[in-house]
Amino acid sequence: MKNKVRWMSLLIAALMLVTAITPVFADTETDPAGEPAPVEETSGFWNHPIVKLLASFFSGLFETPAVEEPVEEEGTEGEEPLPPVVPEEVVAALHEEQKLGFGEMTKLFQIVAEAKAACVLEGVNCDVTLEGLVAEYKDGAGMGALFKEYGKPSLLGVGQVRKELNPKEKSNNGKAKGKNK
């Protein structure tokens, strides 16, 4: 009986030794034809409701300007057209990469929108860009300083943007429903 237990324990120990060594001898070469193509990473914030809200409300800020293309002669190549800007991508990048909050972005977007309107109407603040404002803000200029320089925007937060997109009408004129006072 002792002999059987000894042989059984030696067999189990040998089996465990073989299973521990086997992965070391596995084929470590990778097949280059079997590798998948690299996938471009996209932000997980694209589907965030506030990213979509801000992107749709301020979509006019992200449109690439239409540039008139000169007539090309045969055999010459023109410049490649700029790829379209995806507003959700810009908003998500500002939130993830620049670490801006949605309220900060709302204020900066509105400053740019109002600066563009002032440029068209009055010819002032024509050099204000989103990239410039973000850089100025990240360099330490506070919102108050930006408000002094460019004017306080009419929309200061995400809640105001929501109200602009979905205005609610009051039908009860402030009176409680179903109660006689």
Residues 6+ apart with CB under 8 A from 42: none
Please report, as a single letter, which amino acid is at residue 126: C
Q: What is the pLDDT of residue 146?
A: 92
- pTM across the whole model: 0.62
pLDDT digits (tens, 9 = 90+) for 123-145: 888 899 999 999 999 999 999 99
Q: What is the pLDDT of residue 113?
A: 93
Q: What are 88's two structure tokens?
A: 């959700």
Dist. CA 164–CA 162, nearest whole Å: 5
Q: What is the pLDDT of residue 100?
A: 92
Q: What is the pLDDT of residue 7?
A: 78
> Phi and psi (nearest 5°) for 175?
-90, 145
Q: What is the pLDDT of residue 42?
A: 54
Dist. CA 80–CA 86, nearest whole Å: 18
Dist. CA 98–CA 101, nearest whole Å: 9
Please report, as a single letter, which amino acid is at residue 93: A
| Positions of the chain with pLDDT lower than 70, given as ranges | 17-18, 20-45, 64-83, 169-181
Q: What is the pLDDT of residue 135?
A: 93
